[in-house]
Amino acid sequence: MRWAVRHHRGGHVRRILVATVFFCGMGATATAQQQVDTELMTYPEIAAAMRAGKTTVLIYNGGTEQRGPHAVLGGHTLIARRASVEIARRLGNALVAPVLPFSIAGGHLNPKWPGSVNLPGPLFSAVNEAVVDSMVVNGFKNIVLMGDHGGGQRELQDLATRLDEKYGPRGTHVYFCSDLYSKTAADVAAWVKEHNLPAATHGGIHDTSVLMYLGGDSYVRKDKLAAGDPVLPPGQQPDPATPRVDNGVTGDPRPATPEFGKLFFDMQVANAVAQIRSLVVSDQRR
C-alpha cells in the first residue's frame, strides 16, 4: 500500500513535470514565432518566417554621437532598436536586420565631447549597400532603408533609388522610408510649438523625451539636464556679442518627460508604418 501511494504520487509528479515542459516548449515556440529581430533568431526561424510571408526587411541606421551632457551617446541606436521591432510587428510582414550603430556624424566630432563616431558619406553608403546586397541574397523581396539620424538621409534616398533600379527587374525592391525622420521631425516641431515649448534640433525635448520613455535613468541623466544654444530662425546668424553655451545641445531638454516621449515615439512608428505600406502597395499595383 505504501509503495502504491508512493508510485501514485511519483506518477503525478512526473505528469506535472511533463506538462510543464510541454507548455514551456509551446511558450518558446510562440516566442520564436513572434520574434522579428533577425539578430535574435536562428536561420531556420528566419526561413520559416519568410515562408509565412515576412519577406520585407527593415535596414535601420542608428548612430553614436554626443547628445549633450545629459543623454547617452547611443541614443539613435537605442531608439532604432525599439522602433524597428515595433514597426515590423505592426507591418505584420517584416523582419528587422541588425541595427547599424554608426552614421554620418562628423559635426559632432569634437575633443570637448568625446565618444562620437562618424562614417564619411561614401563609406556610410557602401556599408548600407553591402547590407542590401546581403538581404537580396537572403531572399527578401522588399528592402527598406531608414535612418534615425539627420546625417545620411540623402545618401539613403540616393542609394535606394540606385539599388531599386538594379534589383527591381529581378523581383526585389529597395525603398527609402523618409517619413520616419523628416515627417516625424516636422510633426514633433509643430506639436512643440503648439504647446509653447522650446524648439530644439539636437539634444532637446524630442530625443530626450523618447530616451526617457524607453530607458529612464539608464539613458538620461536628469541631474545634468541643461539648456543649450537656442534654435535660431532660418537665415538668422548668432549674435557674436552673446557668449555661446556650447554644451552640445541646441534647444532646451529640461521640459522633457517620458509621456512626451511615448507620444513622439508613437508618431515615429506610425509615420514609418504608413509610408512603408504605401510604398510597397504602390509597387504591387504596377
Domains of the chain as residue ranges with CATH: 36-234+243-284 (3.40.50.10310)
Q: What pLDDT is recorded for position 283?
A: 61
- Please tell me the distance from the alpha carbon of residue 235 to that of residue 214, in angstroms, as a whole number: 35
pLDDT at 256 over 60: yes
- Please tell me the distance from the alpha carbon of residue 84 to that of residue 12, in angstroms, as a whole number: 46
Other CB atoms within 10 A of residue 41 CB: 17
pLDDT, one tens digit per residue, over 41-56 is 999 999 999 999 999 9
What share of the chain has pLDDT > 70, as a percent? 87
Confidence of residue 10 (pLDDT cuts 50, 70, 90): low
Q: What pLDDT is recorded for position 17?
A: 47
The mean pLDDT of 252-264, rounded to a whole number, is 98
The mean pLDDT of 65-88, rounded to a whole number, is 98
The grid coordinates of residue 225 equal: 539636464
Q: Which of 170, 179, 202, 187 is nearest to 263 (CA)?
A: 187
Output the CA–CA distances (angstroms, integers) from residue 249 to 20, 30, 60, 199, in the order listed: 53, 44, 24, 11
Q: What pLDDT is recorded for position 165?
A: 98
Q: What pLDDT is recorded for position 23?
A: 44
Q: What pLDDT is recorded for position 34?
A: 86
Out of 82-86, 212-216, 238-242, 262-266, pick the least confident. 238-242
The mean pLDDT of 27-42, rounded to a whole number, is 75
The grid coordinates of residue 13 equal: 509528479
Output the CA–CA distances (angstroms, integers) from residue 37 to 86, 87, 97, 174, in the order listed: 10, 11, 7, 19
The mean pLDDT of 255-267, rounded to a whole number, is 98
Instruction: Write the DSSP symbol of residue 72.
Output: -
pTM for the predicted model, two decimal places:
0.87
Q: Is 132 in contact with 59 (CB distance < 8 Å)?
A: yes
pLDDT, one tens digit per residue, over 167-195 is 999 999 999 999 999 999 999 999 999 99
Handedness of CA 165, 169, 170, 174 (dihedral sign): positive
Out of 125-134, 146-155, 226-235, 251-260, pick the least confident. 226-235
Cβ neighbors of 182 (< 8 A, separation 6 or more) are 153
pLDDT at 1 over 60: no
The amino acid occupying position 78 is L
- Please tell me the distance from the alpha carbon of residue 109 to that of residue 268, in angstroms, as a whole number: 27
Q: What pLDDT is recorded for position 281?
A: 78
The mean pLDDT of 123-132, rounded to a whole number, is 98
Cross-strand partners of 56:
94, 142
pLDDT at 19 over 50: no
Cβ neighbors of 112 (< 8 A, separation 6 or more) are 246
pLDDT at 127 over 80: yes
Confidence of residue 14 (pLDDT cuts 50, 70, 90): low
The mean pLDDT of 249-254, rounded to a whole number, is 97
pLDDT at 81 over 90: yes
| Mean pLDDT taken over the chain | 91
- Please tell me the distance from the alpha carbon of residue 112 to that of residue 179, in angstroms, as a whole number: 33
